[in-house]
Structure 1
Amino acid sequence: MPSYVVAGASRGLGLEFVEQLAKPGNIVFAMARNPSQSKGLQALSKKPEVHILKADITDPVGLRAAAAEVAKVTGGSLDVLINNAAYVSKKYEFLQIDEFATEQELIDDFKLSFDTNVLGPVLTTNAFLPLLRKGHVKKVLTLSTGIADAPFVLKAEYAYSPAYCVSKTGVEMANVKYAIKYKKEGFVFLAISPGVVNTAEEPAAPEIIPKLQEMAAAFQKVAPHFKGPIEPNESVSAMLSVLDRATIKDSGSFVSHLGTREWL
């Protein structure tokens, strides 16, 4: 009976991971900072396969408590950890690196991005490693983004989201460090881009639409076939397929839902 922890499960891709994994024979732990505020998560919690965990990925104490709750259900093991939780500022998303109104705003956005997008997955992984080492599957999937791929960004000339992109580049290296240490134990660590996914909960503000069009044009410069976002169910289904196929030789890789480094 495979067991999964999905960190950042309250909405979007995280919620979709829980929904697709919540099937007979699996045990799924949906972890969120405020699970009671997620209608989707509350609905899924009625399924017998789903267990809700309340924890912030930047809080080591809360993460250890969550791991202890998992251990009570599984007998001390865990098969798969999915690090989905992430932060990108809506306020600063379409600024370039020298366009912050103040230095303090730049500092705050970079610090929050690093804490959530790099330290968060590291702390979460460390908290669940003792359980993963006793599991049968030993896989960790950490969501990244194609706009953290430096060669792609250079070709596309995509200048926005500096803090988010820099922090997601950092989590790819953290993934490599884990892969190196735990290779002999049969672990598989993957960083993955979900593609461009429609996770918006409301229509884009009118002032944002030109930026989104500019972003699409930048992507099409590198990938002329790019037609726009895919839906969460398509992305998650593809990522789970990539995860299922991954072996120890793939550990430390950055891949996409397509199974390669190409993500559009």
Structure 2
Amino acid sequence: MAKTYIVTGASRGLGLEFVKQLLKRGDIVFAAARNPDSSKGLQALSGNEKLHLVQLDALSEESIKAAAAEIEKKAPEGVDVLINNAGICGEMGLDFEQTSKNELVKVFETNVAAVNEVSKAFVPILRKRGAGCVKKILNMSSLLGSISSMEDATGYGFGVAYCVSKAGTNMLTRAMSSKLGKENFIVYSSHPGWVQTDMGGGEAPVTTEASISGMLARLDSITAEDNGKFFDFESKTIGW
């Protein structure tokens, strides 16, 4: 049976691949992006009647409210899954002594605060599915947000701000899962792997197709016992 999904950061990369694979299997998708009309990838899919393009600037309160109202109107019986994919990497290669306050705040605002604001606006739409229906939220994180996995201060080439923000995403996931688990939600963090995207670069060993296929398999099979956990795209558990 087809389910209804919201995917943020859907204009390119992992977000766009989520949209493609979900549509291919017959699901309904609300693809949210800052400028969906300028995304060649989304426009190429726009003829699919199960795709709804939604303008969403996750840093704008007005935009979030407008997006939520639009989705609620088009999905009056609710949505099954929220995929919080939108995010930025910030400046690459910066250690803590090179990282400015502005850099930390900028990356944290997008990767943590915006996820919180978007989730607050969209969770009521998921709740419409009712207590008897399992609702799911996937928060896109990274192995670089795992404190126990860090090997050096450079964050494997990424900046400290990105690593700190993804650790924050993981803590937010635990906070969300603790509250929403009582309402038949499953909330968890996912590491997509080192993927061939604009962020990951052409030398990355994992294709977007393989990453998203793996994460969707985990999303489909996840149970209440997995609420609040952290997995990679191959369904392996990652330490905090």
Return the TM-score normalized by structure 2.
Answer: 0.91
1:253 is aligned to 229
Q: Judge conservation of contact 1:15–1:41 (CA < 8 Å) in 2.
A: yes
Give the paired residue count: 234
Runs of 4+ in 1 over 4 A off after TM superposition: 201-204
2:123 is aligned to 129
CA RMSD of aligned residues (A): 2.2
Q: In structure 1, give the amino acid aligned to 2:196.
A: N
Q: Judge conservation of contact 1:24–1:49 (CA < 8 Å) in 2.
A: no
2:80 is aligned to 79
Q: Once the 2 structures are TM-superposed, how far is the Cα of residue 23 of structure 1 from its aligned partner?
A: 3.5
Change (3 A) 1:39 1:122: same
1:103 is aligned to none
Q: Which residue of 140, 162, 174 corresponds with 1:164?
A: 162
Q: Once the 2 structures are TM-superposed, how far is the Cα of residue 154 of structure 1 from its aligned partner?
A: 3.0
Unaligned runs of 5+ in 2: none
2:207 is aligned to 231
2:10 is aligned to 9
* Secondary structure of 1:241's aligned partner: helix
Q: In structure 1, give the amino acid aligned to 2:206.
A: I
Change (3 A) 1:14 1:200: same
Q: In 1, distance between residues paired with 2:231 and 2:21?
A: 20
Q: Judge conservation of contact 1:70–1:76 (CA < 8 Å) in 2.
A: no
Q: In structure 2, give the amino acid aligned to 1:18.
A: V
CA deviation vs aligned residue, 1:20-42 (integer Å, no higher than 9, x gap): 01136421000000112210011
Q: In 1, distance between residues paired with 2:114 and 2:208?
A: 22
Q: In structure 2, give the amino acid aligned to 1:86.
A: G
Q: In structure 1, give the amino acid aligned to 2:167.
A: T
2:94 is aligned to 95
Match runs of 1:195-210 below 5 Å: 195-200=193-198
1:224 is aligned to none
Q: Which residue of 134, 138, 143 corresponds with 2:140?
A: 143
Q: Once the 2 structures are TM-superposed, how far is the Cα of residue 118 of structure 1 from its aligned partner?
A: 0.2
Q: Once the 2 structures are TM-superposed, how far is the Cα of residue 69 of structure 1 from its aligned partner?
A: 1.2
Q: Which has the larger radius of gyration?
A: 1
1:116 is aligned to 110
Q: Once the 2 structures are TM-superposed, how far is the Cα of residue 65 of structure 1 from its aligned partner?
A: 1.3
Comparing 131-140 with 78-87, greater Cα deviation is found at: 131-140
1:243 is aligned to 219
Q: In 1, distance between residues paired with 2:29 and 2:206?
A: 25
Q: Judge conservation of contact 2:95–2:154 (CA < 8 Å) in 1.
A: no
Return the TM-score normalized by structure 1.
Answer: 0.83
Q: Percent identity?
A: 39
Q: In 1, distance between residues paired with 2:89 and 2:150?
A: 17
Q: In 2, distance between residues paired with 1:123 and 1:202?
A: 26
